[in-house]
Amino acid sequence: MSNSVFEVPTPDHVGKTLRELRRSRRITIQQLAEGLNRSTGYVSQLERGLSQPTLKDLYAACTIFGVPMSWFVDLEEKQPDAEREKDIVVRSGQRRFMLHRGARTELLTPQLDSDVEFMMSTFEPGLETEPKNVPTSGAEYGYILKGRLELWVDEEKFELVEGDSYRFNRSSTYRSHNPSKTEPTIIIWVGVYK
Protein backbone atom coordinates (compact mmCIF):
# COMPACT_ATOMS: atom_id res chain seq x y z
CA MET A 1 0.00 0.00 0.00
CA SER A 2 1.30 3.46 -0.89
CA ASN A 3 2.32 5.91 1.82
CA SER A 4 1.25 8.82 -0.40
CA VAL A 5 -0.88 11.60 1.03
CA PHE A 6 -2.64 14.48 -0.61
CA GLU A 7 -1.45 17.81 0.74
CA VAL A 8 -3.72 20.83 0.81
CA PRO A 9 -2.72 22.76 -2.31
CA THR A 10 -0.86 25.95 -1.51
CA PRO A 11 -1.51 29.12 -3.54
CA ASP A 12 2.05 28.82 -4.88
CA HIS A 13 1.52 25.23 -6.14
CA VAL A 14 -1.91 26.01 -7.61
CA GLY A 15 -0.56 29.10 -9.36
CA LYS A 16 2.37 27.22 -10.86
CA THR A 17 0.06 24.42 -12.04
CA LEU A 18 -2.45 26.88 -13.52
CA ARG A 19 0.34 28.67 -15.43
CA GLU A 20 1.72 25.33 -16.75
CA LEU A 21 -1.73 24.29 -18.01
CA ARG A 22 -2.43 27.67 -19.60
CA ARG A 23 0.93 27.85 -21.38
CA SER A 24 0.79 24.23 -22.56
CA ARG A 25 -2.61 24.91 -24.15
CA ARG A 26 -1.41 28.21 -25.64
CA ILE A 27 -4.12 30.20 -23.84
CA THR A 28 -3.53 33.83 -22.90
CA ILE A 29 -4.18 35.19 -19.42
CA GLN A 30 -7.03 37.21 -20.91
CA GLN A 31 -8.66 34.10 -22.44
CA LEU A 32 -8.37 32.22 -19.13
CA ALA A 33 -9.76 35.21 -17.24
CA GLU A 34 -12.79 35.27 -19.57
CA GLY A 35 -13.33 31.53 -19.03
CA LEU A 36 -13.18 31.99 -15.25
CA ASN A 37 -15.29 35.16 -15.40
CA ARG A 38 -12.50 37.01 -13.56
CA SER A 39 -10.15 39.90 -14.28
CA THR A 40 -6.74 39.41 -15.88
CA GLY A 41 -5.18 40.95 -12.77
CA TYR A 42 -6.80 38.30 -10.59
CA VAL A 43 -5.59 35.46 -12.83
CA SER A 44 -2.10 36.96 -12.82
CA GLN A 45 -2.17 37.01 -9.01
CA LEU A 46 -3.33 33.38 -8.96
CA GLU A 47 -0.47 32.31 -11.22
CA ARG A 48 2.08 34.11 -9.03
CA GLY A 49 0.72 32.50 -5.85
CA LEU A 50 -0.43 35.85 -4.46
CA SER A 51 -4.11 34.85 -4.23
CA GLN A 52 -5.85 31.65 -3.14
CA PRO A 53 -8.42 30.54 -5.75
CA THR A 54 -11.95 29.71 -4.72
CA LEU A 55 -13.28 26.20 -5.27
CA LYS A 56 -15.50 27.69 -7.98
CA ASP A 57 -12.37 29.00 -9.76
CA LEU A 58 -10.69 25.58 -9.53
CA TYR A 59 -13.75 23.74 -10.81
CA ALA A 60 -14.00 26.19 -13.72
CA ALA A 61 -10.28 25.73 -14.50
CA CYS A 62 -10.75 21.92 -14.44
CA THR A 63 -13.56 22.28 -16.97
CA ILE A 64 -11.57 24.64 -19.21
CA PHE A 65 -8.48 22.40 -19.25
CA GLY A 66 -10.25 19.01 -19.06
CA VAL A 67 -8.39 17.85 -15.95
CA PRO A 68 -9.63 16.44 -12.62
CA MET A 69 -9.33 18.44 -9.39
CA SER A 70 -6.46 16.18 -8.32
CA TRP A 71 -4.32 17.87 -11.00
CA PHE A 72 -3.98 20.83 -8.62
CA VAL A 73 -3.13 18.74 -5.57
CA ASP A 74 0.53 18.29 -4.67
CA LEU A 75 1.00 14.54 -4.21
CA GLU A 76 3.81 14.06 -1.73
CA GLU A 77 5.49 10.69 -1.32
CA LYS A 78 6.64 10.12 2.25
CA GLN A 79 10.04 8.70 1.30
CA PRO A 80 13.54 10.03 1.92
CA ASP A 81 14.13 10.76 -1.81
CA ALA A 82 10.79 12.55 -2.42
CA GLU A 83 12.19 16.09 -2.38
CA ARG A 84 15.22 15.13 -4.50
CA GLU A 85 13.00 13.43 -7.12
CA LYS A 86 10.21 16.05 -7.19
CA ASP A 87 11.22 17.86 -10.41
CA ILE A 88 12.92 14.89 -12.10
CA VAL A 89 11.05 11.59 -11.52
CA VAL A 90 7.37 10.67 -11.85
CA ARG A 91 6.44 7.44 -10.07
CA SER A 92 3.85 5.28 -11.85
CA GLY A 93 1.18 5.70 -9.18
CA GLN A 94 1.59 9.47 -8.99
CA ARG A 95 0.97 10.63 -12.56
CA ARG A 96 -1.35 13.55 -13.17
CA PHE A 97 -4.04 12.62 -15.66
CA MET A 98 -6.94 13.89 -17.76
CA LEU A 99 -10.13 11.99 -18.60
CA HIS A 100 -12.07 12.80 -21.74
CA ARG A 101 -14.80 10.70 -23.39
CA GLY A 102 -13.26 7.26 -22.86
CA ALA A 103 -9.62 8.34 -23.05
CA ARG A 104 -7.26 8.65 -20.10
CA THR A 105 -4.16 10.72 -20.82
CA GLU A 106 -1.34 10.71 -18.25
CA LEU A 107 1.46 13.25 -17.97
CA LEU A 108 4.81 11.40 -17.97
CA THR A 109 6.87 14.38 -16.83
CA PRO A 110 6.85 16.20 -13.47
CA GLN A 111 5.49 19.40 -15.06
CA LEU A 112 3.83 20.52 -18.25
CA ASP A 113 6.10 22.27 -20.71
CA SER A 114 5.01 24.80 -23.31
CA ASP A 115 7.46 23.33 -25.89
CA VAL A 116 7.04 19.56 -25.41
CA GLU A 117 4.26 17.26 -24.14
CA PHE A 118 5.22 13.71 -23.11
CA MET A 119 2.06 11.67 -22.50
CA MET A 120 0.51 8.21 -22.40
CA SER A 121 -3.08 7.81 -23.60
CA THR A 122 -5.34 4.81 -23.05
CA PHE A 123 -8.30 4.55 -25.44
CA GLU A 124 -11.21 2.40 -24.32
CA PRO A 125 -12.54 -0.16 -26.86
CA GLY A 126 -14.38 1.54 -29.73
CA LEU A 127 -13.28 5.07 -28.80
CA GLU A 128 -13.06 7.49 -31.73
CA THR A 129 -11.68 10.99 -31.21
CA GLU A 130 -13.07 14.16 -32.74
CA PRO A 131 -11.08 15.62 -35.67
CA LYS A 132 -8.44 18.02 -34.33
CA ASN A 133 -6.54 20.79 -35.99
CA VAL A 134 -4.05 22.61 -33.79
CA PRO A 135 -3.11 25.91 -35.43
CA THR A 136 0.54 25.71 -34.44
CA SER A 137 3.84 24.53 -35.84
CA GLY A 138 5.54 21.42 -34.54
CA ALA A 139 4.86 17.71 -34.73
CA GLU A 140 3.34 14.81 -32.83
CA TYR A 141 5.19 11.51 -32.47
CA GLY A 142 3.54 8.35 -31.21
CA TYR A 143 4.24 4.71 -30.42
CA ILE A 144 1.55 2.02 -30.08
CA LEU A 145 2.44 0.28 -26.84
CA LYS A 146 -0.60 -2.02 -26.82
CA GLY A 147 -3.54 -2.75 -29.10
CA ARG A 148 -4.47 -1.29 -32.50
CA LEU A 149 -5.15 2.22 -33.76
CA GLU A 150 -6.75 3.66 -36.86
CA LEU A 151 -5.21 7.08 -37.51
CA TRP A 152 -6.43 9.63 -40.04
CA VAL A 153 -4.06 12.47 -40.96
CA ASP A 154 -5.58 14.97 -43.39
CA GLU A 155 -8.20 12.26 -44.21
CA GLU A 156 -5.59 9.64 -45.14
CA LYS A 157 -6.16 6.50 -43.05
CA PHE A 158 -3.38 4.42 -41.44
CA GLU A 159 -3.89 1.16 -39.56
CA LEU A 160 -1.36 0.73 -36.76
CA VAL A 161 -0.65 -2.23 -34.47
CA GLU A 162 1.43 -2.79 -31.36
CA GLY A 163 5.03 -1.71 -31.98
CA ASP A 164 4.20 0.70 -34.84
CA SER A 165 4.96 4.40 -34.55
CA TYR A 166 3.95 7.60 -36.33
CA ARG A 167 4.74 11.27 -36.86
CA PHE A 168 2.63 14.08 -38.31
CA ASN A 169 2.68 17.86 -38.39
CA ARG A 170 0.62 19.51 -35.64
CA SER A 171 -1.01 21.74 -38.27
CA SER A 172 -2.60 18.66 -39.91
CA THR A 173 -6.19 17.64 -39.23
CA TYR A 174 -6.10 14.33 -37.38
CA ARG A 175 -8.31 11.87 -35.53
CA SER A 176 -7.99 8.33 -34.27
CA HIS A 177 -10.05 5.25 -33.40
CA ASN A 178 -9.54 2.12 -31.34
CA PRO A 179 -11.20 -0.50 -33.60
CA SER A 180 -11.26 -3.22 -30.94
CA LYS A 181 -14.53 -4.06 -29.20
CA THR A 182 -12.77 -5.61 -26.19
CA GLU A 183 -9.19 -4.34 -25.80
CA PRO A 184 -7.85 -0.88 -24.90
CA THR A 185 -5.20 0.83 -27.01
CA ILE A 186 -2.24 2.41 -25.22
CA ILE A 187 -0.18 5.09 -26.97
CA ILE A 188 2.96 6.85 -25.79
CA TRP A 189 3.15 10.20 -27.56
CA VAL A 190 5.17 13.38 -27.67
CA GLY A 191 3.90 16.71 -28.95
CA VAL A 192 6.69 19.10 -29.96
CA TYR A 193 5.92 22.79 -30.48
CA LYS A 194 8.17 25.19 -32.36
pLDDT in tens, 54-85: 778 887 888 888 777 777 765 554 455 667 78
User: What is d(CA 70, CA 68) in angstroms, rounded to the nearest whole number?
Assistant: 5
CA angle 102, 106, 171 (to 5 degrees): 80
Q: What is the pLDDT of residues 154-194, one digit of tens each?
A: 999 999 999 999 999 988 999 999 999 999 999 999 988 77
Is 170:138 a contact under the CB 8 Å cutoff? yes
Q: Which amino acid is at 13?
A: H
Strand, coil or helix: what is 128? strand
Cβ neighbors of 40 (< 8 A, separation 6 or more) are 29, 30, 33
User: What is d(CA 128, CA 81) in angstroms, rounded to the nearest whole number?
Assistant: 41
Q: Which position has the higher pLDDT, 74 or 141?
A: 141
Report which of 98, 133, 176 is spatially closest to residue 187, judged by C-alpha positions: 176
